[in-house]
Structure 1
Amino acid sequence: MVECCHWSRRSERAGSATISQSRRPGRTATHRVGSSRLRIAPTPIRWYNLAFRIQTGLRGPWRRRPPMPVIDRRRFLTSAALGVAAAGLARPEHAAAAGSDLPAEAPGFYSFRLGEFRIAPVCDGVFHLPMNSIATNAEPAARKAYFDAHYMTADIFQLQANPLLVGSAEKLVLIDTGVGPAQDWAPTAGRLAKSLQDAGVAPADIDVIVLTHCHGDHVGGLEAAVSEGFSKAEVVLSETELDLWNSPDAASKVPDWAAPGVPALQKTFAALGDRLRPVKGGSEIVTGVMALDTPGHTPGHMSVLVASGGVTMLVTGDALANIHFAFDHPDWQMIWDHDRELGVKTRKSLLDRATHDRLLVTGYHYPFPGVGHVVKEGDGFRWLPAEWVWDRET
């Protein structure tokens, strides 16, 4: 059984990181961060912005998220350890609107227990992509009927970006790093640092970063790994994925919309040096966390399996990128898959495995928090969100 819980792990440095999520009527949650002050100011990877312009023809100035404020980690830690729900959170966005007792926004994380692991999807925000980039091999009438039935607009569709924290007594792992600072194609994204703060985690507490693949909405926050952000994290990705994006002729091997990002990504890889750890499918990343080859979206795309207490969770990455057509019509293709036919094959295989093995599933682009199961339905499948559970001590 999956339960909502409080998160607590001892950092290898002084202090600790604590995640707690609690809701009570008339209150908001309070969250803490370790034992020192930390300024988070990651440098953007700008290439995905350009790639989106290439695809859509958008123009306009670069948008950059303002620097994050200094975080008083000791003050947050003290309140979190007491488990007290305060009247407001540290940042002004959490303050109640004038004339209202309700907070303007909720913390961008949701925590639950999976055996010995503490799991927390953390929200990086949302962005939009053109509708004509998906279901490219479907009949126009079928596409329109499907989109209408699912309240999907004719021009764009919305995607969440939900990196995932996986914590144990050994390590704190972050799967994917979000968009990075907000871009003109993703003006409400770039919230990872804030969501981590709300969850009681400082970027410097992350031991391992796992990249499912190297598209900009998953690696955009990676440059923080070479700055004062994720300062100690080992970066794990597929051996095939690293070989592709780090090769001298990488720009000619990836789709045109992805090529502008290659130089910045290679610069980041070079700066990481021996903190990069390429792995093969089936390799154990940390105890209980295993890499799973799921090629198609990119040649080296990998999903992740997290297993503990008799429950296995599939972290899909972009192998199952949408809760609608990826489940109902897994044979529908999208331009964002490097190999569209292989992407279809991988989707069908993952859906079959998720239903047969009754896996818990998390999706990076699913409506937050993106946790649920796959159900076989007719010739396709259906996404079944897990119920949220609050205020459960474990």
Structure 2
Amino acid sequence: MLATVAAISGAPSLTFAAAPKQHFQSPGFYRMALGDLEITALSDGTLPLPLPEMYRDVTAEQAAQLLRTAYRDIPTDTSVNAFVVNDGQRLVLIDAGSGSYLGAEAGHLFANLEASGYKASQIDHVILTHVHTDHSGGLVRDRTLVFENATLHVPAREFEFWLKTPAEARPDGLNPQLFKEAEECLRPYLERGRVEVFQDDDEVISGFQSILRPGHTPGHSSIVVESGGKKLVFWGDITHGDVVQFEQPEVTIEFDVDRSGAVRSRRQAFAKAIAEGHLVAGAHIAFPGIGNVLRDGEHFDWMPVNYSDGEGGIIR
């Protein structure tokens, strides 16, 4: 026994190098079914935003306290989400991510679309909730069409505002760069005759209904799909995050073109989601951004969809 101990103690020590940290996630897509529809949420990335400084109609200190109470860091990682609907005949993309406009932390929609099993060339229709660059930037790459076989559908009010408003008629304080980027993202599709506009509260294509919810931008619209008695409303930018504007719906954000209009639309969207109990898909709610709105007295809460890795995700 002593000889064995001596032999072990005299042996060279074995050391192992620590494994390096891996700074990546799994591909950013989440799939579920809504009746006969397949819904795929796509992550364009997350942006670390100083949200307390960006919110309006609330003090930065109050906003920061709400975020910290919800255990959110500041800056707060804020999702940029888009969604694909497969109805068995068409692939329809709701919003198109940011492309190269917001730096390396975003612009991942194309890669995550492919990771989810689809290619950009398979997309039949792209529907924009509005024209802000984090929703339209992914339409182009090097000023050429990414979705080469798709028809692009844009709310009529958005098209008029971003592409036709003369510089002297634009709202004070609105970044002129947004108008330049709108032109860059939509123009290649216009030149190829691939843009169709849709009117307020109109059907965009069969099975996809729009709801005008202006304020964030003049033509900001939600998109509705239904199947098997279930409804999902792609919200667009009704909220930025899932904490502050649920707790205090009157809080706006610096990107809102019409702040009072944005509050009205948010309250209408909350009320409808609660009254009908329908699912919501938010562009800037923590990925995958799909869930339900709950009432908490005079305030609201966000309930993410229950995660499932397969058939359990089917909602019928």
TM (normalized to structure 2)? Answer: 0.85
Matches within 5 A, 1:22-171: 105-139=25-59, 141-154=61-74, 156-171=75-90
Which has the higher mean CA deviation after the structures are superposed, 107-116 or 282-291? 282-291
Cα separation, partners in 2 of 1:352 and 1:217, compared to 1, 3 Å: same
Contact 2:101–2:133 (CA<8 Å) still a contact in 1? Answer: no
Which of 339, 346, 353 lines up with 2:272 in the alignment? 353
User: Aligned partners of 2:183 and 2:130: how far apart in 1?
Assistant: 14
Are 1:271 and 2:188 an aligned pair?
yes
**What's 2:94 paired with?**
175
Higher strand share: 2
State the secondary structure of the residue aligned to 1:163.
strand
Matches within 5 A, 1:1-394: 105-139=25-59, 141-154=61-74, 156-181=75-100, 183=102, 186-224=103-141, 227=144, 229-249=146-166, 252-254=169-171, 256-273=173-190, 274-392=193-311
Deviation readout 1:105-144 (Å, 9 max, x if unpaired):
3121111111121100011111133334444222455334
Superposed CA RMSD? 2.4
Cα separation, partners in 2 of 1:228 and 1:348, compared to 1, 3 Å: closer
User: Aligned partners of 2:185 and 2:310: how far apart in 1?
Assistant: 40
The one-letter code of the counterpart of 1:276 is V
User: Aligned partners of 1:251 and 1:215: how far apart in 2?
Assistant: 20
Displacement of 1:153 after TM fit?
A: 4.3
State the secondary structure of the residue aligned to 1:214.
coil
The one-letter code of the counterpart of 1:143 is A
Deviation readout 1:5-59 (Å, 9 max, x if unpaired):
xxxxxxxxxxxxxxxxxxxxxxxxxxxxxxxxxxxxxxxxxxxxxxxxxxxxxxx
The one-letter code of the counterpart of 1:118 is E
The number of equivalent residue pairs is 293
User: Aligned partners of 2:142 and 2:194: how far apart in 1?
Assistant: 10
Displacement of 1:244 after TM fit?
A: 0.3
User: Aligned partners of 2:221 and 2:116: how far apart in 1?
Assistant: 26
Contact 2:223–2:235 (CA<8 Å) still a contact in 1? Answer: yes
User: Aligned partners of 2:178 and 2:59: how far apart in 1?
Assistant: 32
State the secondary structure of the residue aligned to 1:126.
strand
User: Aligned partners of 2:57 and 2:24: how far apart in 1?
Assistant: 42
Displacement of 1:250 after TM fit?
A: 5.0
Contact 2:33–2:39 (CA<8 Å) still a contact in 1? Answer: yes
5+ long unaligned stretches in structure 2 = 1-17
User: Aligned partners of 2:282 and 2:129: how far apart in 1?
Assistant: 12
User: Aligned partners of 2:104 and 2:187: how far apart in 1?
Assistant: 29
User: Aligned partners of 2:143 and 2:37: how far apart in 1?
Assistant: 27
The one-letter code of the counterpart of 1:245 is W
Contact 1:210–1:237 (CA<8 Å) still a contact in 2? Answer: yes
User: Aligned partners of 1:257 and 1:189: how far apart in 2?
Assistant: 23
The one-letter code of the counterpart of 1:119 is I
Deviation readout 1:325-355 (Å, 9 max, x if unpaired):
1211101122111111111111111000000
User: Aligned partners of 1:113 and 1:250: how far apart in 2?
Assistant: 44
Cα separation, partners in 2 of 1:345 and 1:248, compared to 1, 3 Å: closer
TM (normalized to structure 1)? Answer: 0.69
Identity of aligned residues (%): 28
